Chain A
Amino acid sequence: MIVSLIDYGAGNVTSVARALRRLNAEVRITDQPEEITDACCLILPGVGHCAALLGSLDSHGLRRPLLTALSGGTPFLGICLGLQALYQSSAEAPELSGLGILKGRVDQLPQSVKLPHMGWNQIRTVHSSRLLERIPPAAHFYFAHSYAAPTGGAETAALCEHGREFTAVLETERIFGVQFHPEKSGAPGANLLDNFLRLAA
């Protein structure tokens, strides 16, 4: 199976590709609409500013093929901004529309705590997720973000907290998302990516 990694110009595509190749996955890095339509499995990594991601999806003509792939059941994993992009909008870039697969708005974490939420934190499972199989409940994952997705939707599989609770892992049908960076999260992160590859196979 070939994993298509959507490259919108963010810094962490290389890290994600490296982590996937360590798991013996074949990786295709792409910014081509037709390759997204054809993909059998998609990962949207993201880091930085939400406007850069959404703007770049539009300027490369990737929004429509991505939405088609998602509604057609292509297995999808959004990482960090790639998770946030699934919602209707983000307070970080209110002028742009999110992909709108999930209801709600991504908002900034409270300024009562240090931002960005940077470093290793634990998550609390709300309902079982296939992404988290074989991963110890006390595992730490690496986060680096200031904006975060709402909780309360049926898609939320695990929460994290920094100033407030937010969605750390989501799963709905074949659409998955993680707010942390599995490619930077040691053994638990590698397990999670491996789980995704198995689900997508």
Chain B
Amino acid sequence: MTLVRRILPCLDTDGARVVKGVHFEGLRDAGDPVELAARYNAEGADELVVLDIAAARDNRPTFLETIRSVAEQLNIPLTAGGGIRSLEDARAVVRAGADKITVNTAAVERPGLIGELSREFGAQAVVLAVDAKREKDFWQARVRGGRAATTWNALDWARRGVELGAGEVLLTSVDRDGTQSGFDLALTSAISGAVSVPVIASGGAKIPQHFLEVFTEGAADAALAASIFHDQVQSIRLLKLFLRDHGVEVRLPC
């Protein structure tokens, strides 16, 4: 009996459609969220993440409808986020069918939000998204999709977020995101060692070796990727077989 390492496909959406682009620029259509959700559910994804990367206020009803129709397809957990600024926003997302919510910018601006969410939904439902960018001798926590700096060292911010009630950290390397050059292993390992909760590594995945490294050297509990799954560059099942053959415990649905 071992808790397995998880593989999480991520649907970055503009609210309605899955989009892709490097560093949030040059976005292009990458498919229908409902079709992709059904495919990943069947292929053995361990959880699904759906983000509203536009997070525009007037687009909220559309995103909630997307969560509802995606949740309808799943018998695995669903995490949703992007633009959650208040307890009320989070309630709407949970009511639409999300099991967990991610917060980033709003939590940096008002850390008390983390505690409010944790008290209402439980720590297991609160995922702190930490976007980290390498500076000279530390990683800086970034907000607004990685574009804006904060005064936080990413390690301190992750620790603080967990103290405040986050039950999981979704760590994205801003430097690696979209590059397909592999996860930032040093960053992942540092954050994983700094917090007592599970860490999901994100940013830079392409080949199975990248996932193997992030689970071993990076000490990640889960790994997230988007376009390599959408474009069928990587099958989830073959990725898991590779990991199993290299000694990583995974879940292979029958």
- Give the contact-size bracket for chain B: 20 to 34
State in angstroms the CA–CA spacing of A103 and B197 once bound together. 30
Contacts A140-B251, A142-B77: A184 and B99 contacting too (C-beta < 8 A)?
Answer: yes
Residue pair A120, B46 in contact (C-beta under 8 Å): yes
**Residues of chain A from 103 to 143 with CB closer than 8 A to chain B in the complex:** 111, 114-124, 136, 140, 142-143
Q: Which of A123, A140, A145, A162 has the most CB of B within 10 A?
A: A140
Name A81's closest neighbour in chain B (CB-CB): B122
Q: In this assembly, does B254 line the interface, its C-beta being within 8 Å of a C-beta of chain A?
A: yes
> Is B196 part of the binding interface, using a Cβ–Cβ cutoff of 8 Å?
yes
**Which of B94, B124, B251 lies in contact with A146, CB distance below 8 A?**
B124
**Residue in A15, A22, A140 whose beta carbon sits within 8 Å of that of B4 in the complex:** A140
A78 at the interface (CB under 8 A from B): no
Which of the segments A28-36, A93-101, A148-156, A185-193 contacts the partner chain? A185-193
Within 8 Å by CB of B1, from A47, A144, A160, lies A160
Known pairs A160-B1, A162-B3; A114 contacts B198 (CB<8 A): yes
**Contacting A14 at CB < 8 Å: which of B3, B95, B124, B197?**
B95
One of B15-23, B49-57, B68-76, B174-182 at the interface? B68-76
A161 within 8 A of B: yes
Contacts of A142 in B (CB 8 A): 76-77
Known contacts A119-B222, A120-B6; A15/B71 CB under 8 A: yes
Interface residues of A: mostly helix, strand, loop or mixed?
A: mixed
CA distance A22 to B121 in the complex (A): 25
The answer to whether B167 has its CB under 8 Å from any CB of chain A is: yes
CA of A161 to CA of B1, assembled, Å:
7
Determine how close the nearest CB of chain A comes to the CB of B96; give it in whole angstroms: 8
27 A-B pairs within 8 Å (CB atoms) are namely: A11-B94, A18-B72, A22-B75, A47-B122, A47-B124, A47-B125, A48-B122, A49-B119, A49-B122, A111-B196, A116-B167, A116-B198, A118-B3, A118-B221, A119-B198, A120-B3, A121-B1, A121-B4, A123-B1, A142-B76, A142-B77, A146-B123, A183-B75, A184-B76, A187-B254, A189-B75, A190-B75
A interface residues (Cβ-Cβ under 8 A, vs B): 11-12, 14-15, 18-19, 22, 47-49, 111, 114-124, 136, 140, 142-146, 160-162, 181, 183-187, 189-190
* With A114-B221, A116-B124 already in contact, 16 other A-B pairs whose C-beta atoms are closer than 8 Å: A11-B121, A48-B124, A49-B122, A116-B168, A118-B124, A118-B167, A119-B198, A120-B4, A122-B1, A124-B1, A140-B4, A144-B99, A145-B124, A161-B1, A181-B77, A185-B75
The residues of B with any CB-CB pair to A shorter than 8 Å are: 1-4, 6, 46, 71-72, 75-77, 94-95, 97, 99, 119-125, 167-168, 196-198, 221-222, 251, 253-254
Q: Give me the 3 closest cross-chain CB pairs, A-B, nearest first.
A: A48-B122, A144-B124, A140-B251
